Amino acid sequence: MKIHVRAPATTANMGPGFDCAAAALDLWNELEVEEGDGELDETHLGVRAFAKLAPAEGKRFEFVSRIPRERGLGSSASVIALGLVAGAIAAGEEPDPERLLAIGVELEGHADNLAAALAGGVCLTWENRIVRVADSLPAVPFALVPEATVSTAEARNSLPDSVSHEDAAFTAGRAALLGAALAQGSAELFAEAIQDRLHEPYRAQNAPLLDKVRSDLPQGALGATLSGSGPSVIVWVRPEAVDACEEELARRFADASVLRFTVSEQGAHQA
């Protein structure tokens, strides 16, 4: 039996939603699994994820990778989601996102990314639980993707052990406002909510595009956030301004790729 699975890119952390808020984006990695001989790379994240649910021996794995790696767009989470969903199907199980999150989070290390890759839409996660809070967002996400890469471990190490009470309170308030913006589908609340003092100020040195965009937002943009641990930046744009904003971003940031996304209502699934 051939199993064909797709899994989306993600943007995680979403401003004040550090380690808990993420959205699935419509850029897809794919996996085909079928019976076959050949060398099995047991170190591959997707194969390791598959093996948590079904035997990988005697299988041929063919991955198609479209999501840029080490750019903060959830490439590793997508690969792990592919393996988990394919493994569940091979084991004759229904791919339940929460159960697969609990199984796969030790491979990914960041539950927010993996939750969105598995469940689709806009997700909040805590203690390996997932709540999908919206199918879409009140803004169109554009990714500015530089040539440079950043390892997640390096970005994590740039964070301080503690922050001031003032910065913690600021970020907690914006995180609550983010929930309200998603619940109401309000672009105005969303623009106010996507500010952070918990992680972005410390990671900005490895993501210079963030300050460049924020210091002179394109017309029609609501704001910008670091995508995952960077260095990619998501520019959130009002739907009526997407064409003009895309042209401006391409002109101003010629050294980066400008990718227009929609939020994917689907997470990882059998194609």
Q: How confident is the model at residue 209 (pLDDT cuts 50, 70, 90)?
A: very high
Flag whether pLDDT at 155 surpasses 80: no
> What is the rounded distance in angstroms from the CA atom of residue 89 to the CA atom of residue 50?
10
Which of 138, 131, 91 has the alpha carbon at shortest distance from 111?
A: 131
Say if residue 173 is in the same domain as residue 110. no
Domain-embedded: residue 87: yes
Say if residue 234 is in the same domain as residue 159. yes
Say if residue 110 is in the same domain as residue 225. no
* Neighbouring residues of 24: CB distance < 8 A, sequence distance ≥ 6: 8, 9, 10, 116, 117, 119, 120, 121, 122, 123, 263, 264, 265, 266, 267
What is the predicted pLDDT for the residue at 221?
97
> By mean pLDDT, which of 7-11, 37-41, 70-74, 159-163 is the weakest?
37-41
Q: What is the 3 state secondary structure string of 174-195?
A: HHHHHHHHHHHCCHHHHHHHCC
Q: Among residues of the chain, what percentage have pLDDT more than 90? A: 89
The pTM score is: 0.94
> What is the rounded distance in angstroms from the CA atom of residue 87 to the CA atom of residue 107?
15
Domain-embedded: residue 265: no
> By mean pLDDT, which of 42-51, 77-86, 152-161, 243-252 is the weakest?
152-161
Q: How confident is the model at residue 206 (pLDDT cuts 50, 70, 90)?
A: confident
Say if residue 130 is in the same domain as residue 149. no
pLDDT, mean of residues 164-169: 97
The chain-wide mean pLDDT, for the chain, equals 95
Say if residue 110 is in the same domain as residue 26. yes
Flag whether pLDDT at 154 surpasses 80: no
Domain-embedded: residue 186: yes
Say if residue 162 is in the same domain as residue 105. no
The residue assigned the tokens 């959830």 is 74
> pLDDT per residue over 100-128, tens digit each?
999 999 998 889 999 999 999 999 999 99
pLDDT, mean of residues 137-153: 90
Domain-embedded: residue 268: no
* Neighbouring residues of 27: CB distance < 8 A, sequence distance ≥ 6: 8, 9, 66, 67, 73, 259, 261
> pLDDT per residue over 127-143, tens digit each?
999 999 999 999 999 99
pLDDT, mean of residues 206-213: 92
Domain-embedded: residue 22: yes
Say if residue 102 is in the same domain as residue 147. no
Domain-embedded: residue 104: yes
Domain-embedded: residue 39: yes
Flag whether pLDDT at 30 surpasses 90: yes
Domain-embedded: residue 269: no
110: CATH? 3.30.230.10
What is the predicted pLDDT for the residue at 174?
97
> pLDDT per residue over 175-202, tens digit each?
999 999 999 999 999 999 999 999 999 9
The DSSP secondary-structure symbol of 206 reads G
Flag whether pLDDT at 150 surpasses 90: no
Flag whether pLDDT at 262 surpasses 80: yes
Say if residue 7 is in the same domain as residue 129. yes
Flag whether pLDDT at 158 surpasses 90: no
Please say whether the beta carbons of 113 and 12 come within 8 A: yes
* Neighbouring residues of 164: CB distance < 8 A, sequence distance ≥ 6: none
Q: What total number of domains does the chain contain?
A: 2
Say if residue 148 is in the same domain as residue 85. no
Domain that holds residue 165: 140-260
Say if residue 156 is in the same domain as residue 120. no
Which of 10, 3, 2, 1 has the alpha carbon at shortest distance from 270?
A: 3
Given 119, 134, 149, the domain boundary residue is 134
Say if residue 111 is in the same domain as residue 97. yes
